[in-house]
Chain A
Amino acid sequence: MSFIDTLRSRWQEYRRPGYYENFDYAWTMTIDLDSCTGCGACVTACQAENNIPLVGEEELARGREMHWIRIERYWEGEFPNAKLNFIPMLCQHCDAAPCETVCPVSATYHNQDGLNAQVYNRCVGTRSCAVYCPYEVRYFNYYNHEWPSPLDQQLNPDVTVREKGVMEKCTFCIQRIRQAKDAAKDDGRRRVLDGEVQPACVQTCASQAMVFGNRNDSQSEVFKSMNDPRAYHVLEEVNTAPSVVYLKKVEVNG
């Protein structure tokens, strides 16, 4: 077997579809663009849950926004037929994540729940992952951010506060997943039940546009939702196999 063939077969083995079916969980989120109102509650909920720093106006002016989930907006048409479409954009937890293969120190990796996780204390801040990410959902700490007292009292003790020089991103609220697994274990159950864990964004979404759950469980809400005929992946052509599934917006004509 040539080197290239070996490489390809290993690659196939690693990236074979359904890889995570061997495990208990494959966390997945669906976002129904027909229900999303673009209100931004998810953005603030995430900021509160995950100790996301305030970067200030100056940093924002330099494009250093820090929101693990953000609302993107795209206009189409011109007045009076102008339309505005919203799409919440967060880490897609790709099964074939370009950010993972590029990290020189393996600070970003895939865990067996199908999550793309970031090891903060291993990150050396090359920012390669942010360059490779087609969804632009990785955020870099250019500074040590401050929480003027007593704002620091709000910080979530289950989530680390990241330092200068470290890349950070959506974790699907891994601390909540851990908490739910812990509770299941205490209950003597092997698996977390459907609906027991919801990331902060999904929890708060007033228009019920988001569903989160385990796609290995064919009875779960998210399994049903991701098999909706309207389901699609953003930038499907880059073959990242995302764990975030969007449902197409319905357009009524005339």
Chain B
Amino acid sequence: MSGIDRRDFLKLAGAGGAGAGAGFMMRESTKHPVEHLVPYTSSPEEFSPGIATWYNTVCSMCSSGCGISVRTREGRAKKIEGNPSHPVSQGRLCAHGQAGLQVLYNPDRLTGPMARTADNEDLLPITWDEGISQLATRLGSLQASGQGDSVCFLSEGVDGHLAALYERFMAQLGSSRLVHYDFTHPRTLYSAIEKLFGDSQLPYYDIGNADYVVSFGADYLSTWISPVNHSFGFGSSRKGVNGVRGRFVQIEPRMSVSGASADDWFAANPGTEGMVALAIANHIVNEGGYQGDDRDAWVSALAPYSPASMSQATGLSSSVIIGIAESFLGSQHSLAIGGGSAGNNTNGVDTLVAVNALNYLVGNLGNEGGLILNPEPVVGSGSGTLRATYTDMIELAEAARDGRIQVLILSGTNPVFNLPDAAEFREAIAQIPLVVSLSSFIDETSSLASLVLPSHTYLESWGDSFPEPGVGFSIGSVSQPVVSPLFNTRATGDIIINLAQEIGLSAAFPWSDMEEYLKEGWQQIYARGNTGDGTEGFESFWNDVVRAGVWGETTRGPSPEGLLEGVIESIDVAPPEFSGSSANYPFVFHPYISDTLEDGGAANLPWMQELPDPLTSIVYGSWVELNPLTANELNLEEGDIVEVESPHGRVTAPVFIYPAIMPNVIGMPIGQGHTDYGRYASGRGSNPIQILSPQLETETGDLAWAATRVAINPTGRRVEIVKTGGVSRELGREIIQKVGADGADADGADHAAELSSIPVKVVRS
């Protein structure tokens, strides 16, 4: 270290000690500014940074199927980043994806197989051989006696070869009870797309090339379907599509992350989003010069939905509806998407049919910036048909209560937490003689298991993923272990293969493990051709796919010719029905998927608990959102604990006053309220799903989770809400500066030059 000796150092230290201000003057005035204090942050010459090894694999934190690259050092995973060559993630990742490391290294992970003691009290460690043979014996005898159907496999939503393996296993057992359950599964969107275009898969919404996007309740930037891909598109569109800055409109009763990022946010009455869509369609068809052959059919189908007649029901003025319609028609690449609470009212499918019909009316189907259908699934029949609805789950619960289920195998899903109390799912599972859990954690559902055979996490297992929706062409990824297993756990696929062989199904399960099974499956993908020159054989193809972390074909999905016959005539959105009378339950309850904890699955990750909620900055807790006017009327302030009462139960949580929620709507995030699920999740906040009424979406029989009414009962108690944000207004500090699209900002100053980088087309005048 040169340039400073001990004396200089003491001088500096002394100056600092004399007072901060004096220290600052003395130091600057007595010394040449360029100093040579060398901290360890610039490392010594002989130090060389370690070399990391990166593995490409697939994120399993939600069902988007983002390709990821995991950085490992000395055999440990250190950091997850998006895989730049993967078309879904494009090298980017969301907070949940980043936090996948805390699934792997979670201190509450199960470390090995366990079984309950004879008196059904404690879970005690057993060996894998004991566990597998215990289960195999039971399954084997049921299969041999033709009672295979009394075995139920209840799994989180999986796709690709693992799903195919499950199917094969259950078919061999003679059981039809393979149930994939995901609270967030967009069942109603599948049905709507099927109704419109006859396609059984989700379409790809090309947000990146759209310049006018209207979202009906879909929080596409945070929790809906494929947030990373949508956010990438959002950023691209905001930077300009053919020189036009993308403009985003959000219609929803409570402002979501996507609503906050939108240019225009409108609150329509809950469940009336479909009517808004039809009113927009009405204007496009009648006034907007729609020229299609089917114009007459549209005109008569949409006759009851004029913007003027819809404004009473929806709460949006006809000028707002007409404004959106004209921009939608006037933009080069308009796109309509719908989901979230809009798809989970009693009229969910009709709403989404109405929304997606707008895409047809502006002719964006199959086009850049439009709705693009995906090709046939590469493996299996796609996830849409596999996922269980609420009605399916109720049937399962009934079967369990009637003693028709002898063995329940759980894997990764937590229906006890994700189903309303009204479903009485916990009580039903308690009736099943043998409950086996393959989950990596003890959650509310797996805590009922008497045999625990814990799986590897996704970062320790082989698998594959074929993202649904794709990006308009077929893509897939192989998921490979990036670290060796931490604990005495096994991959789910290996457990299934092992079980099958123990039962005596070796003929149908000839593979030694999941990896071998996977490779055999990928032989067929290799055989599809389209795999480069293909001269080097399967091994080289396989290695390339694993290394690159992505495989794809250039074949596009079908371009829809038009709508299915009879769709236009049947287009109609019934008013939403809510459970509970408006006299006793004055508010519409709006539970929403948490931006940090998802549907509760991420609640055991401390990074997610500590990540401030994007909209409220609240950490580690639950809250109830009230419009300032409502709070004023009820004489409630932030932190007042209230009881939210529905016809089916009560939960308590503190009030948070939220400026962008309708006065007759009560918002509450899903995700907290765990009673199990480890140290970070359990005993924290409350779970709004508990009090939902078993109100069904009329067509799919799925839970209409946005269709419950509630009352707010003050308790008189108070807590301090833990949040990181301070003052919620800028108070003239101009921290966030803006420039108006017309080149002028609030003070009327001319900022036209500032817009030169992004030409902004103002569609409406």
Contacts and interface: CB of A to CB of B under 8 A. Distances in A.
Contacts of B168: none
Contacts of A230: 739, 754-755, 757-758
A70 B742 CA distance: 31
9 closest pairs, A vs B, by CB?
A104-B16, A207-B235, A119-B39, A206-B231, A14-B33, A206-B92, A208-B235, A101-B24, A44-B95
A101 B27 contact: yes
Given A43-B95, A104-B16, A252 B614 contact: no
B79 interface: yes
B280 interface: no
Contacts of A191: none
B567 interface: no
B49 A158 contact: yes
A206 B232 contact: yes
Contacts of A249: 736-739
A10 interface: yes
B255 A84 contact: yes
B255 A13 contact: no
Contacts of B104: 154
Given A154-B78, A206-B232, A246 B737 contact: yes
Contact of B612 (A11, A61, A70, A182): A70
A71 interface: yes
A47 B753 CA distance: 38
A160 to B, nearest CB: 7
Nearest to B761: A252
Contact of A206 (B13, B73, B94, B627): B94
B735 A182 contact: no
Interface string B83-117: 00000001111110111011011110000000000
Interface string A144-181: 00001111111111101000000000010011001100
B118 interface: no
B740 A154 contact: no
Contact of B627 (A43, A79, A128): A79
Given A105-B13, A208-B92, 15 more contacts: A14-B33, A35-B238, A38-B614, A39-B94, A41-B94, A41-B95, A72-B735, A79-B660, A79-B661, A101-B24, A117-B41, A153-B76, A153-B486, A178-B42, A203-B81
B730 interface: yes
B534 to A, nearest CB: 33
B105 A151 contact: yes
Interface residue tally on B, bucketed by range = 35 or more
B575 interface: no
A229 interface: yes
16 contacts: A11-B28, A36-B261, A38-B614, A39-B222, A43-B612, A44-B95, A47-B610, A60-B610, A70-B724, A78-B659, A86-B260, A117-B39, A117-B42, A118-B41, A154-B78, A235-B735
Contacts of B725: 72-73
B263 interface: yes
Nearest to B754: A229
Contact of B29 (A3, A86, A246): A3
B596 interface: yes
B1 to A, nearest CB: 12
Interface in A80-109: 80, 82-87, 101-106, 109
Contacts of B74: 157
Contacts of B238: 32, 34-35, 207
B56 to A, nearest CB: 15
Nearest to A233: B737
B99 A44 contact: yes
B41 A76 contact: no
Nearest to B483: A153
Contacts of A132: 20
A253 interface: yes
Interface stretch (B264-272, B440-448, B544-552): B264-272
B305 interface: no
B346 to A, nearest CB: 25
A157 B235 CA distance: 33
B23 interface: yes
Given A54-B607, A60-B619, A119-B37, A7 B29 contact: yes
Given A182-B49, A230-B757, A10 B28 contact: yes
